[in-house]
Amino acid sequence: MNAFFMHHLMPNTAYLILENGTVFEGKSLGAHGEIAGEIVFTTGMTGYLETLTDPSYYGQIILQTFPLIGNYGIIPSDFESCSVAAKGYIVKHPCQHPSNFRSEGDLDTFLRERGIVGLSGIDTRALTKIIRENGVMNGKITPTPPTDADLAEARSHTIRNAVAAVSARTVVKSENSNATRRRIALMDFGAKRGIVNALESRGCEVWTFPHDASAQEIMQTKPNGIMLSNGPGDPADIGNKGIIETIKVLQKEGLPIFGICLGHQFLALANGYSTRKLKFGHRGVNQPVKELATGGVYITSQNHGYEVIAEDSSFVNVNDGTCEGLEYGNSFSVQFHPEACGGPFDTAFLFDRFTARIDKLPHSA
């Protein structure tokens, strides 16, 4: 058996085929197998644990542009959820021997134990450039040289029922010993733990509701404010129509509403705005955003592939001018993540703005 043939049968060899036919050869990372998904890149140098456990990546293959990933190991207390919603993971150099006093394992083992198929050792810079130039595209990771069937599978991949797949199944009440008079109803579309943590640290009692909870079910708990979480997928998907109708009903209650990421998009759709897919999305921890009312510029963490089309934004993306926030009287929403546990923390004050609006209401006094 010649060396070339043996090389291509090595168990640690893996391939990525893009829907445009481009093939990358690298090494298997995590679980051994094959998966197809939408490839999206994120630019964070740190925060890979928060990225991997963010439900908003449901059905996608995450590409880390920073080449060294896994250096500080696996730290469960940093997770944003208890599972990995992404389908695959691509890095240049995964660290096999992390160094951190909080670490409880390494990246490869973490992915393998959760059945997440990964790929390492490819030119991630070249792959990122392809996506930036051509737009987000599907791909397939496979342990064998790609065939026409693999290419067809990559091209036909679609993400369906994303919100339903990651939302809570039952109503959950937080156990916050520091809770004051504020009770927040959190509609879970794929909520990160950081949102609950940010609210609880400000003395809020948080009730988490499944995505399909009715306005009546939510209002029965007598909330003082409504939180609309982040989440995956196309906000205008027909499967989300019920959510948007529920938000319309909740708005009529007059309570402050705060939407983040997908929650921002749902609130916009409920108020007559429209959305559209971005060429390659905003994902990373270095997105500059300007608040038009103050002129202040903040560095933000973002993870979204769709934008709200609006002429009256409260925040705009400094790089491309897209809408990053909207105001609706005593309610508001932002496209970025003020709760980002991996940082930056520039916009954490928005949770204080939310609670301040709740405290101004007569029944909150």
Structure tokens at 134: 């051509």
Tell me which DSSP letter residue 31 carries. Answer: B
CA distance 126 to 231: 28
CA distance 86 to 59: 5
199 with 241: CB under 8 angstroms? no
Residue 284 burial (10 A CB sphere; 0-12, 13-18, 19+): buried
Catalytic site includes residue 339: yes
Catalytic site includes residue 337: yes
CA distance 190 to 260: 11
Catalytic site includes residue 261: yes
CA distance 257 to 349: 15
* Nearest of 344, 225, 330, 349 to residue 291 by alpha carbon: 349
HEC readout, 33-87 = CCEEEEEEEECCCCCHHHHHCCHHHCCEEEEECCCEECCCCCCHHHCCCCCCCCC
- Which entry of 19, 80, 205, 339 is annotated as an active-site residue? 339
Please list the residues that pair with 26 across neighbouring strands.
Answer: 14
- Which entry of 19, 205, 261, 341 is annotated as an active-site residue? 261
Cis bond before residue 232 (omega within 30° of 0): no
CA distance 238 to 232: 14
Secondary structure E strands in the chain: 13-18, 23-30, 35-42, 60-64, 68-69, 88-91, 93-94, 117-120, 137-142, 172-173, 183-187, 205-209, 225-228, 257-260, 274-291, 297-309, 315-317, 323-328, 331-334
CA distance 14 to 262: 33
CA distance 157 to 140: 9
List the catalytic residues: 261, 337, 339
